[in-house]
Chain A
Amino acid sequence: MIQQLIFYPLIVQMLLAIVLMFVWSRIGWQRVISIVGSVLNLGVAVWLFISVWQNGTQAVQAGNWEAPFGITFVADTFAATLVLLTAIAGLAVSSFSAGSVISPRLKFGFFPIFHFLLLGLNGAFLTGDIFNLYVWFEIIIITSFVLLTIGGEKAQLEGAVKYFTLNVLASIVFLTAIAVLYGLTGSLNMADLASKVAAVENRTLVQVNALLFLVGFGIKSALFPLYFWLPASYHTPPSAVSAIFGGLLTKVGVYALIRVFTLIFEVDPFLENVLLAIAVLTLFSGAVGAIVQNNIRKIFSYLVICHIGYMIAGLGMMTEAAIAGAIFYIIHDIMVKTNLFMVSGVIYKIKANHNIKKLGDFYADHPKLSLLFAIPLFSLVGIPPLSGFWPKLSLISEGWNTENFAVIAAILFASFITLFVIVKLWGEVFWKTGAKLPEVRNFPYFNKLSKFRKTQMLAPIIFLAFVTLYLGFGAGNIQSLAERIAFELMDNQEYINTVLRK
């Protein structure tokens, strides 16, 4: 009973998607079912998290096939935390889409696909089998293609072509890596691979294989030379879709990187240097890219790339405290990025424009909303005591301890540029006296929406803002959570023993 709990987040999302397909053209029903189902899913995720927190890592063998022969699902603290964050972000975005996505788009099956995406995310976090991870990744990318293209605008299709090509290429590289790994070891179970990869004699091939995984996951998590699909596509779909993409999709890549390089492959000094160099360049190029953009969502897209650098820096330093910093940053980043893209959606609904040069007067017109939007914006910058500050602190102090001064410089540079970009955005959008924008005909302006729709759009932003505030003010709790995850990742015996029932 208690072990089957691991499957519940998957079952809830899958049932939701199936039920939603039965009411395909009834938008009203879909909105209600999606939100109620997401609340249910949040409950299940909290249950799983509490159970893992109290009882430690749990594993369940699908179909009762003993590991390493069957497919294992594992919930350690890292996976349970990410499932919980997915549930929180999923609930927020579900409510936001119910309020903001126009009904012609909803009629093309927006909600069923959205829940299949969440199913894929939960599956990717919980699986303990490397080929199963590939399958979940495919579910994630197929559903994300559909969400990206629903509506069929010119920009969406162009963005989708780029997004599609690079993500499929990443999948093929990932599949190649799995093929080589299977050829080397003859196993697919990640816990079993840990000891088998260590025993392989041909170390060169193992290193090549590790780099293949790095490239495959690197494209998905938008690392330095492989990120160009992200700013070309994330600003094209509706803001609700950008929110779930910006919050969660790149983080699945980071999750897979952290999992593979802590569990399966030993990170040697060469790989460590590669990861650190990539982290520095990602921080640098994402930050510089964000400075020159004028489209709000493009700015946030580049900031997504930039902040992936922090997590990879934490992974590259490979000490327990550095990984704890990276984990804390992932927790903070999922909440804040989801919220920021929703904020950009509300700004767009009010002003019908994305260009910060043309926007203005927001603070004068909507002072309360501006104060609300300030919370995620300045959390992202990491002004103490808001949530972005604490993980950066541990990353910088770990960089000092391990004498990676280039990493410290890049982290400080990226933080400074983030501050500059957000202050610029604040000045342009909120404080500047803007020219009057021409009224767009047939545009669903925010003021014309019913009060209920407005609540559906603003409630998730308030909800995530409170979560972000908790991450900042309750940083002690989050830090101890991150330290426990880092300890479990670095000392992976508990994971392996739970899966293989030693």
Chain B
Amino acid sequence: MEVLLAIIVGTLYAAGIYMILRRSLVKLIIGIILLGNGANLLIFLLGRIAKGAPPIIPGDSKVFLEAYSDPLPQALILTAIVISFGLQSFAIVLVKRAHKVVKTDDLDEMNATDEYS
């Protein structure tokens, strides 16, 4: 399980960075989405995976008796997902507006603000 997740995380990061490096605006957004998901899975993976062991202390005990799956990474991922959802929706609207105003989706042609004036 861990190995599989590690490979998926690596693939998501690699694909995300590749997409960000492309010149198309839409691919830029896809790249950011992939990278964000990669980061979320990484948190999940690094929180140690314990299958079928909810973090509930048995009624007759005061401490955990066995290994349990850490709930904190899941809370972190939930927060990160909500944030990245907000960012992605903003990104899509921004790209749509930028495409409408600048009339190109090629990042190489979006260089008016870098030009020497």
Query: What residues make up the interface of A, taking CB atoms closer than 8 Å to B?
Result: 131, 134-135, 138, 141-142, 145-146, 149, 152-155, 157-162, 164-165, 168-169, 171-172, 175-176, 178-180, 182-183, 186, 188, 231-233, 235-236, 292-295, 355
List 6 A-B residue pairs with CB atoms under 8 Å apart, sorted by A's residue number: A153-B101, A165-B20, A169-B32, A169-B35, A292-B116, A355-B117
- Over the window 15-47 of chain B, the binary record of Cβ atoms lying under 8 Å from chain A Cβ atoms (1 yes, 0 no) is 000001000010010001001100100110111
A residues near B42, Cβ cutoff 8 Å: 176, 179-180
Interface flag for B53 (CB, 8 Å): no
Shortest Cβ distance from residue A315 to the other chain B in the assembled complex, whole angstroms? 26
Would you call B113 and A235 a contact (CB within 8 A)?
yes
The answer to whether B94 touches A182, judged by C-beta atoms less than 8 angstroms apart, is: no
The answer to whether A172 and B35 touch (CB under 8 A), given A154-B101, A294-B117, is yes
Residues from chain B with a CB closer than 8 A to the CB of A175 are 39, 43, 80
- Check: B5 CB closer than 8 A to any chain A CB: no
State A103–B63 Cα separation when bound (angstroms). 60
* Known contacts A131-B76, A164-B91, A168-B32, A158 near B117 by CB under 8 Å: no
B29 to chain A, nearest CB (A): 9
Q: Is the interface of B mostly helix, strand, loop or mixed?
A: helix
Measured in the bound complex, the distance between the Cα atoms of B94 and A240 in whole Å is 21
Interchain CA distance A188-B43 in the complex, whole Å = 12
- A295 to B116 alpha-carbon distance, docked (Å): 9
Within 8 A of A (CB), among B69-117: 70, 72-73, 76, 79-80, 83, 86-87, 90-91, 94-95, 97-98, 101-102, 107, 110-114, 116-117
Docked Cα-Cα span, A171 to B88, in Å, equals 13
Report the separation of the CA atoms of residues A141 and B36 in the bound assembly, to the nearest whole angstrom: 15
Which residues of chain A have C-beta atoms less than 8 A from B46's C-beta? 179-180, 182-183
Looking at the assembled complex, report how far the CB atom of A276 sits from the nearest CB atom of chain B, in whole angstroms: 28
Report the minimal beta-carbon distance from B55 to chain A, rounded to whole angstroms: 13
Given the interface pairs A138-B87, A180-B46, A183-B46, the reply to whether A161 lies near B39 with Cβ below 8 Å is: no
Residue ID in chain A nearest B103 by CB atoms: A154
Name which residue of chain B comes closest to A184, CB basis: B46
The total of chain B residues at the interface (CB under 8 A) is 38
Give the top 3 A-B pairs by smallest Cβ distance, nearest first: A183-B46, A157-B98, A179-B43
Complex contact A179–B39 (CB within 8 A): yes
Name the residue on B nearest A293 (C-beta): B116
Q: Do residues B97 and A157 form an inter-chain contact, with CB atoms below 8 A?
A: yes
The answer for the CA separation of A142 and B70 in the assembled complex, in Å, is 30
Known contacts A155-B113, A159-B113, A176-B42; 4 further A-B pairs (Cβ under 8 A):
A146-B90, A179-B46, A294-B116, A295-B117
CB distance from A62 to the nearest CB of B (A): 14
Cα of A235 to Cα of B114 in the assembled complex, Å: 10
What residues of B have a CB within 8 angstroms of the CB of A161 in the complex? 25, 28, 94-95, 98, 107, 110
A236 to B94 Cα, complex, angstroms: 15
Q: B113 contacts which chain A residues (CB < 8 A)?
A: 155, 158-159, 162, 232-233, 235-236
Residues of A within 8 A of B112 (CB): 154-155, 158
Measured CB to CB, the closest approach of chain A to B72, in angstroms, equals: 8
Residues of chain B with a CB closer than 8 A to A176's CB = 39, 42
Separation of A265 and B25 alpha carbons in the complex (Å)? 37
> How close is B111's CB to chain A, nearest CB, in angstroms?
8
> Could you say which residues of chain A place their CB within 8 Å of the CB of B79?
131, 135
CB-nearest residue of chain A relative to B114? A232
> What are the interface flags for B45-58 relative to A under an 8 Å C-beta threshold, 1 for contact and 0 otherwise?
11110000000000
A160, B94: Cβ atoms closer than 8 Å: yes
B94 touches A145 (CB 8 A): yes
User: How far apart sit A160 and B101, CA to CA, in the bound complex (Å)?
Assistant: 13
B97 is contacted by which of A152, A171, A178, A233 (Cβ under 8 Å)?
A152
Using CB atoms, name the residue of chain B closest to A355. Answer: B117
- Considering residues A155, A158, A232, A294, which has the most beta carbons from chain B within 10 angstroms of its beta carbon? A158
In this complex, what residue of B is CB-closest to A141?
Answer: B87
Partner of A182, one of B47, B86, B116: B47
What residue in chain A is nearest B79 (Cβ atoms)? A135
Instruction: Give, as a whole number of angstroms, the nearest-CB distance from A115 to chain B.
Output: 18
Docked Cα-Cα span, A355 to B115, in Å, equals 13
CB distance from A378 to the nearest CB of B (A): 26
In contact, A138 and B95 (Cβ under 8 angstroms): no
A172 touches B28 (CB 8 A): no
- Give which listed residue, B47, B48, B102, contacts A158 with CB less than 8 A: B102
Across the interface, B87 reaches (CB within 8 A) one of A159, A168, A182, namely: A168
CB nearest neighbor in B for A181: B46
A211 CB to closest chain B CB (Å) equals 16
* Interface contact B43-A158, CB-CB below 8 Å: no
Contacts of A188 in B (CB 8 A): 72
- Contacting residues, chain A, for B98 (C-beta < 8 A): 157-158, 160-161
- B73 nearest CB neighbor, chain A only: A182
